[in-house]
Amino acid sequence: MVLKAGSTGEKLFNSFMQFKKADWHQNTIDGCRYSEIKVLFCIKQGSKSHASEMKVSDISKYLKVTAPTITQLIKSLEAKGLVERNIDQTDRRAVRIKLTSQGRRLPRGLRMLFIPPLMV
């Protein structure tokens, strides 16, 4: 997954990184931790640029964390009904992640918390 430089998605992720310096990332919004929200936004942005699913490896590369870290976050998001995982039909070792209908609604609602309405 490649986000365009200066895109709204990239700006949003950069904003999240600024919050990391504060205690905000320890709180939850709609039952999701900071790291889970980042993964949801990453999947949402990645699904706009190509297929509706993303590989775990692509998510981990973009967020600059290890694949096992993403796997744990995906497990949590899957238990909350926000994402679903599917085995890649062309590469059975790869797992593809996509947002559920509930998962697609959550980033839209959270986005309004971080981006002023005129910027959306």
Q: Share the mean pLDDT of the chain.
A: 78
Parallel, antiparallel or unpaired: strands 32-33 and 28-29: antiparallel
Cα separation, 54 vs 47, whole angstroms: 7
The 10s digit of each residue's pLDDT in 27-54 is 666 678 888 988 988 888 876 666 678 9
Q: Using only the alpha carbons of the chain, give its radius of gyration.
A: 14
Cα separation, 66 vs 11, whole angstroms: 22
Cα separation, 9 vs 24, whole angstroms: 20
Class of domain 8-115: mainly alpha
User: Do residues 105 and 80 make contact, with C-beta atoms less than 8 angstroms apart?
Assistant: no
Q: What is the pLDDT of residue 12?
A: 76
Q: What is the pLDDT of residue 80?
A: 93
pTM over 0.75: no
